[in-house]
Each structure stands twice: as structure tokens, then as C-alpha cells.
Chains A and B, each alone.
Chain A
């Protein structure tokens, strides 16, 4: 089975690109930050300098870990789901669930080790850049030299390997449990019902988000910068909660937006039908948009409010405050990167999956332009829904922090920040979906329906 894993990696490198990319970037980011610890150790720095470096390594490293596990799980799950037919075939020729699990975990493990080792190069470069940033803002004295050592390498490889293995195990368990006939029929109907467990989890996350918001507004009131720590995660919790509710939200939104979308003629008609009947797939495409908008908008306005409050107080920002700002911006960068990978991966996989459906529409008389028009309208609805939910999630962070920091519910920050984030989400969604669909309609229709 391990031989089979290696073979499938070699023969179908394309299918693993997204998983590899998220592991590679993830390990690079983790190593870049972990090398701050190596730097602190090697230079024998003490006091404020040491604490700045170690905080960088630990806090952002922890964040990175969460994101890497999330991104790797989502990309691996998709790559396995896309191969449902192959799994069914292997089962029908006598592969046991344990053998399938070994194959999937084997693939992931090989990928993880390769990705982490290659990631050391950009990791070291990124770490050097990060230290330069700290030098430049005088958070770390300029004479502290950069070091990339065992801690960075060990953490990078270890975390990437462990998260890939865990993600692969979760995925494999799910894939191995599906019965042969089921997996061949799975594509037929996908109403995207909200399971009870999913609903319960959504409730828990939203409750925690509300809880953090309330804590920020009451206990953290007037505590200044410290309120950030409490309010900073509320948007993430709310975004995850809303993402879990995505099937319901997409269904409601389709009912609401159906009229205007139908005004676009037959492409609109088809888009509405697809949104209604394929709610599950559409909901999984909305998830990264919600996370992206929610966390980016939340954190950017959080920082803007903080900066404005500092300016008003008339005192120059302390090294700690600058450090927090750098952290926040780095977190945004990571979120953007990973959400983008997830978004692109989800959309590309979902669209490639629809090659047959597109072929059927073309055989019924749809021109390629009509197919692409349908996809464009679907993407527009998904962007609107995702951005709206993300905005709601970001409010869980922004308003409580504004209340705590300056006693007013109105946050600081330019509206253009918001416009920019939403525009980026829209461009990413539209460009990816259309690009993938364009590739899908390049296959002759007759071949597309038999493939």
C-alpha cells in the first residue's frame, strides 16, 4: 500500500498540488517564526529583546499551527473525496479499510516531509526578513544576528508532519467508511442538510463568540490594549460558527437573491437551480470566503481602532504596542494566504467535479459562454453570502473592542479597508471559478459526459 501511495503521488502530482502548497507555505511560516527562538538563544539576548523574540515565535507559531492543520485538512479531504471512484475501485478488488488508510496516510506523510524540507529555504529567508522588520522598528537591537537552527527546523518539520498525519487519518477514516455503492452514487443528490452535530457545533462557536464579545465590553472596558487579546478571537469563533451554518444560510440567501439572479435569463435560472440543489457543495465554497472576510476585516479594524486610540492619547506607541501591531499584520497575511489557498482549492475541485454536468448542459444546447455565465452568477451569490457572513463575524471583534478601548461602538478605520477586503474576496472567487470552468469546457462535450 505504501508502494501504491508513492505511485499515485508520482503519477498524479497535480491532484496533490494544493495539499503540498499548504504544507509548504505552512512549514515556511512556522519555521520563519520559530527561528526567532533560535535567534534569541544564539545571541544570548536578555530582557525585553528576548521576550519580544520568544513571543513572536510562540504566539504566531501557535496561530500558524491552527491554520496549517485547518488548511491541510481541507485540501487533503478534497483530494481524497475527488478520488472516491478510485477508492471504491480499490475496495471492490479487495482493499480493506486499513489498507486504504495506510495508503492515504502514506501519501500525506511523504508530501509533508518533502514540503517541510523544501519549506526551510523560504522559512529561513522569511525569518531573516522578520528580524529585519524587528530591527527596523527598534523592537530588537540591530546587533542581534539572525540564526536558523534546530528549533526552527524541528518545529517546522514536526508540526507539518503531525498535522498532515492527523488530517490524513481523519480523512481516511471518513473515506474508508463509505460503502462501494454509496460512493458511486454520492453525486446524485446533495441537498446540504444541516446535521444535528453540525448545528450543535455552530451553536457552541457562536456562543463562545458572544461570550468573548460580552467579556470584552464589560470586564475589559478601559483596560486599553489588553482588550485586544480578549476581542481578537471573537471574529474567528463567529466566522467558524457561521461557516458551520453555511448550508442553511446559502439556502435562505438563494431564496432571497433568486429573483434578481433569475433576471439574467437562462444562466440565472441555472445558477439558482444549482445553488438550491447543490447546497452542500456551495456551502463548502462559502466557508473560506467567510473566514477570509471575517478575520481580515475584524483584525484590520481592530488595529485601526487601536492605532487611533494611541494617537489620541498623545503618547508614542511602546515597543510592545508596535510588536502587537506587527503580529496582527502578520496574522492577517497568514489568514489571507491560507484562506486564498483553501478558496482556490475548494473552487477548483468543485468545478472540476462538474465537468460532466457542464458537458450535459452543452449537449442540451448551452454555449460555453452560457455555462461560464452560470458559474459567474453562482460565484457572485457565493461572494455576497460569504462577505455578508464575514462582515457579521468581524463585528463580534470590532464593536466590543471599540466599546472597551474608547467607550464608543463606532470603530476607527477607513471604509476603503473594508471595500478592499471584499473586493479581494470577490476577485479571488470569480477568477478562480471562471478559470476552472473555462478549463472544464475546453474538453469536447461528448468526452466530458463520458469521463
Chain B
């Protein structure tokens, strides 16, 4: 559905979809620094589905934005599909993203003045690529919106809008898809549909998915979970279940809380 099946005959694609090397991100000026990412290194194989979890303020969203070329890290390297994400200015970064990266956001971010079909073909038009409307229709049909092509986003439910966003992210056939709380604004039924579609994109069509979430049920749809606390990766869990993730998150939150209090006590605050 989402394009060509994973390469035929097992001809190995570049096996690494995303690589971060010692990525740091520091916000603020000299006397008021906030370290959002404190030397994160990771490698995600192509065709994997990874959830990133952590307490609020752990740097999840910053990690996603740096990895996706939406924000510039203060230090370290980001490689998407083997190509280093380095460019001067927004235009260069935008062109880099168009080729390789798709996004799904919590707030959908569809253009309010464009119809469903226009929203899906927009990335192709912007990139100056041939607009294959039949393919866009086909993708929209597969996400269950074949009969909504002429509607405006405001005329759709949240779940429907997010499915349009997924279709839009996939139409350019990106190597890697990033989701920032893609189910955060949805009811549980719509959330399940959306997660099912994301899983299908990975399992059947070989896309790579990285999803930031705080919902253990959503995280359980991934192959693996990365835990983040205070800007560092503090844990990894394969084949997660919702219960295991929830338990680990509770422990993590307690730990962070304990560390912060003891840190404060030592500092004499």
C-alpha cells in the first residue's frame, strides 16, 4: 500500500536508517543553560519501529526534532539513511528532509485551506516531483479515506485528519518516519487505527518509524522502546508490552524524582 515492498530478493538496503553520534542540544544563554540532550548516541536499523519514552522534560521532543532535521543540535552528528544532516540554512535542511523524512504530529498540521487530496499531494508539488494523483488516491483509499478526497481538514474527525497526515507523510516514500505523539490527541479507537497503519508501513513496506509517546499502549506497538531521562538514554526494551512499559516508566519517574530531590538537598536548596 505505501509504495514498493521492501526491496525484493533481500538485496540489503543500507541497513542503518538513523544514526546519532554524541548529539548534544543546549538551550539558553551562558548563565541560564538547559541541557536538553546530553550526548545521545544511537543506531536504528532500517525497517524497525522504535518508541521513545521518558518523563516530561526528558528531552524526547528535542531528540526527535534534532534527528528529523527540524532543529540543529549544538554538537554531534546526525545521519539519516547514511547521509549526514548538515546544511546551511532552512532551505537546505528542507530539501534534505523532503528526500528522506516523513512526519506525523500530534496536532496533524494539515493545511486548513487545502482539501484532503491537495494536502497529500502537497509535498510532491513542493519538491517539484511528478504528482501522481492516482497513487495519492490509492494511499488515501488504504488509510480508509477514499471517499473524503474533496473535504477540508476542518470537516474531518481527529482520527481521520491523522490518517490524512500519515498518507501525506508516506506519499514521498521516505526512508524514515517520525511521529511526535501521533496518538496524543485521539480517542483510543482512532489511536489504535493510526498505530495499526504505522505498524503496517513498517512491517509490510519496510519503512523505519521513530515515535515519541507517553502512552504505554502506543509504545507497545513498537518493536523496541528507548527510555530517556535528563537528556540521556537510560534504557532499552525489546518486544515491549503495555504493562512492562508502564511499570518501567513508573520506576523511571521515581528515580528521576529522587535524583532531583537529592541533588537539590546537596545544593542546599
Residues of A within 8 A of B (CB): 187-189, 265-266, 269, 273-274, 276-278, 357, 359-370, 441, 444-446, 449-450
Contact = CB atoms under 8 A, between A and B. Distances in A.
Contacts, number: 77
B91 A364 contact: no
A367 B111 CA distance: 15
Contacts of A265: 125, 128
B112 A365 contact: no
Contacts of B227: none
B114 interface: yes
B110 to A, nearest CB: 7
Interface stretch (B93-101, B190-198, B211-219): B93-101
Contacts of A360: 109-111
**Most A CB atoms within 10 A — which of B95, B110, B125?**
B125
Interface string B115-153: 000110011011110000000000000000000000010
Given A277-B113, A365-B94, A450-B107, 13 more contacts: A189-B112, A273-B113, A274-B113, A276-B113, A360-B109, A360-B110, A364-B109, A364-B119, A368-B94, A370-B126, A441-B90, A445-B70, A449-B107
Given A364-B126, A367-B90, A368-B91, A446 B111 contact: no
A278 B114 CA distance: 11
Given A360-B109, A365-B97, A367-B95, A266 B126 contact: yes
A365 B71 contact: no
Contacts of B94: 362, 365-368
Nearest to B169: A364
**Secondary structure class of chain A's binding surface, majority of residues:** helix
A449 B98 CA distance: 18
A188 B112 contact: yes
Given A189-B152, A366-B126, A278 B65 contact: no
A274 B109 CA distance: 16
Nearest to A277: B113
A276 B97 CA distance: 29
16 contacts: A269-B125, A273-B118, A274-B113, A277-B113, A357-B112, A357-B113, A360-B109, A364-B109, A364-B111, A365-B127, A367-B90, A367-B91, A444-B70, A444-B71, A446-B65, A446-B70
**Most B CB atoms within 10 A — which of A278, A359, A446?**
A446
A365 B122 contact: yes
A187 to B, nearest CB: 7
B126 A365 contact: yes
B71 A364 contact: no
A278 to B, nearest CB: 6
Contact of B103 (A189, A277, A363): A363
Nearest to A370: B126
Contacts of A357: 111-113
Contacts of B90: 362, 367-368, 441, 445
A350 to B, nearest CB: 14
Interface in B141-174: 152, 154, 168, 172
Contacts of A444: 70-71
Interface in B188-213: none
Contacts of B2: none
